[in-house]
A and B are shown apart, each in its own frame.
Chain A
Amino acid sequence: MYHCKQSIALAFSLWLTVMAPVHAQTSPAAPAALTQASQPVPDTAPPPSVPLAATPVSSASSGTPAVVLAPQVVVPTPPAVVPTPPVVVLTQPGLVRADSLNGADTAWMLMATALVLLMTLPGIALFYGGMVRRKSVLNVMASVLATCAIVSLLWFAVGYSIAFTPGSSALGPYVGGTGRLWFAGLDYIKDAQQVAVSHIAPNIPESVYAMFQLTFAIITAALVVGAFVERMRFSATLIFMSLWTLLVYAPIAHWVWEPSGWLARLGTLDFAGGSVVHINAGMAGLVCAYALGPRRGYGREAFSPFNLGLTMAGTGLLWVGWFGFNAGSAVAADGRAGLAMTVTHIAAAAGALSWMVAEWVTRGRPSLLGLCSGVVAGLVAITPAAGYVQPSAAVVFGMVAGVACYWGATGLKRLLRADDSLDVFGVHGVGGIVGSLLTGVFASKSLAGVDGSVLTQLIGAGAVMLYSLLMTALVLWITSLCVSLRVSEADEIEGLDITQHAERLGT
């Protein structure tokens, strides 16, 4: 028994020894040594505040030798002898000492990156693949997969640099610089123990941050696929996605998330991509639906979904992956990330039930597709607010988004008269708008650092909608100069699986 206790004590002391430095790093403070731009540091530190020190004093009145702890005022030390660590703030990506990174944050961001990629592959592929007709399921999956691949290379080559580095003085608020083209400078120098970090996330390697943002670019483009399924030529899809990522997504990401972006400076709050990802994708989807026109037989024939079981599986992956999407956007393994995860889950649940009730009341049946759609609606709506609102507000986000997106995918869809095939605008566009505006209502100063403003949020959402509308139309027009956007009538009837890929689903 004694040996057992001794072993436990030894293990505990070892654990303390090992964990102490880890705990010491958990604060995402600025790295100690930065080789890039730094703020001027005063030579002398300000007078320290008066701390309370616990020192043993004997109790003279009782005469007992008992020792108690009492506060004692410490005389301020002269400023000149207090060593002050340099206060350094990065304004652009740069090299820092490797030991200045936070291991816990880095590990979480690696995990979050994988989760967000899981949302697209296979999340979106299954979610969308299950909703189209049997003859075009493989085309949808191929489109999502090819989009992932092509956006990845373009992000590496150009996208990351123009989105997440400060631009030149004149264009700075609108588009980033060229310093990180081809991921130049994303170094890890083992001998010198230096690693590149982004000025936006100085606590993790820049390679991790660039990869995390890459997965956002991928899923945003993949979401647009849902608007033009079963009729867009595969080659046109590739060209469109390439141009759209560089000309539409990357600049908007710069506006909102790079500190020099004009919407960031304006104070628009978008924690994880309500406007950058969802409003943007929804608007682009709507433009695609108008530009390509409806599928043959739209409005007259029943377009039975291939397998809503796949859609359910995709929804599950999206829900789980969204924890990486939202909680990962805290760029740290901290309290904000935990809160983001909590509100994400609550909003998804509220969205599912809200859509279900709306559908039950109006249609008389709660459908599985409705539940899946409600989950996504709630997740979309909480995205811009995930790190800024309390859990109770998440219920409101989910409830409002469930009903609003149900209307967006039914009533509004009929009003718009566009064959937005899988309701990209109805769910992501409407959900993103609802979430952005509610962020202005519910954003807590204690969490966000600023009070939310509905007007500012409205400006942000409106600017993204307008830019996405115009530029998506332009990109489609440019694409149409290269190849025809639509497949032929015969190919559409035959199905895109066989005509675009020479493949067919098995029996």
Chain B
Amino acid sequence: MLANEKIAIAAHLHVLLRRKTGRVTDTEWMVSNREYALEIVRFAREKATQDGHADLGIMANRLADIMALTAPAQAAPAPRAAQAKAAPEPGFNLFTASRSFGDSESAQAPRYVAGLR
């Protein structure tokens, strides 16, 4: 699925959530972070059920489908090692230096959740 299609659906959901519930979301983060997208879909479905916003539920389902949120195994990104093998090693630079310092889970942790820094 094309990335811009994901963003279009996420942006639609963002607008609906903003109008129907007042909740402000981060569109780009929604398509790049699976946990965040899951939480937004859950919230949208809950509000759709509670407050009777059918369109909100529909859009939440579309995002869940396009992000393959119900099938995590399929949506999981390729392991880092595999990615590294697919792409040629760029040689020594700051990026590889940072990885040697342990660029691991913390770099992939959700940004700006429970703290700015």
Contact of A360 with B39 in the complex, beta carbons under 8 Å? no
Contact of B23 with A423 in the complex, beta carbons under 8 Å? no
Chain A: which residue is nearest B22 at the CB level?
A493
Distance (Å) between the CB of A285 and the closest chain B CB? 14
Contact of B102 with A361 in the complex, beta carbons under 8 Å? yes
Which residue of the partner chain, among B29, B104, B106, B113, contacts A300 with CB atoms under 8 Å?
Answer: B113
Report 20 cross-chain contacts, Cβ distance below 8 Å, ordered by A residue: A134-B24, A299-B113, A302-B112, A303-B113, A304-B26, A362-B106, A364-B98, A364-B99, A364-B101, A364-B107, A365-B98, A365-B103, A369-B117, A409-B116, A409-B117, A410-B115, A413-B115, A414-B115, A422-B116, A426-B117
Residues of B close to A481: CB separation below 8 A: none
* Cβ of A233 under 8 Å from chain B: no
| Interchain CA distance A298-B99 in the complex, whole Å | 30
Residues of B close to A373: CB separation below 8 A: 117
Tally of contact residues, A, Cβ under 8 A? 36
Distance (Å) between the CB of B83 and the closest chain A CB? 15
Contact of A133 with B117 in the complex, beta carbons under 8 Å? no
Distance (Å) between the CB of B61 and the closest chain A CB? 21
Chain B residues proximal to chain A, CB less than 8 Å = 21-26, 29, 33, 36, 39, 98-99, 101-104, 106-107, 110-117
Chain A: which residue is nearest B101 at the CB level?
A361
| Interchain CA distance A373-B111 in the complex, whole Å | 16
Most buried by B among A305, A362, A370: A362
Residues of A close to B117: CB separation below 8 A: 359, 367, 369-370, 373, 406, 409-410, 423, 426
Interface of chain B: mostly helix, strand, loop or mixed: loop
Residues of B close to A490: CB separation below 8 A: 22
Distance (Å) between the CB of B110 and the closest chain A CB? 6
Contact of B116 with A494 in the complex, beta carbons under 8 Å? no
Contact of B114 with A414 in the complex, beta carbons under 8 Å? yes
Contact of A303 with B116 in the complex, beta carbons under 8 Å? yes
Distance (Å) between the CB of B108 and the closest chain A CB? 9
* Cβ of A363 under 8 Å from chain B: yes
Contact of A305 with B116 in the complex, beta carbons under 8 Å? yes
* Cβ of A328 under 8 Å from chain B: no
Q: Known: A302-B111, A410-B117. Is A364-B104 also a contact (CB below 8 A)?
A: yes
Q: Known: A363-B106, A406-B117. Is A305-B23 also a contact (CB below 8 A)?
A: no
Residues of B close to A135: CB separation below 8 A: 24
| Interchain CA distance A362-B109 in the complex, whole Å | 12
* Cβ of A167 under 8 Å from chain B: no
Residues of A close to B112: CB separation below 8 A: 302-305
| Interchain CA distance A414-B33 in the complex, whole Å | 22
Residues of B close to A359: CB separation below 8 A: 117
- Within 88-132 of A, Cβ neighbours of B (below 8 Å) are at 131
Contact of B116 with A423 in the complex, beta carbons under 8 Å? yes
- Within 296-339 of A, Cβ neighbours of B (below 8 Å) are at 298-305
When A and B form their complex, which 3 residue pairs have the shortest distance between CB atoms, in order from nearest? A364-B103, A364-B107, A493-B22
* Cβ of A452 under 8 Å from chain B: no
* Cβ of A205 under 8 Å from chain B: no
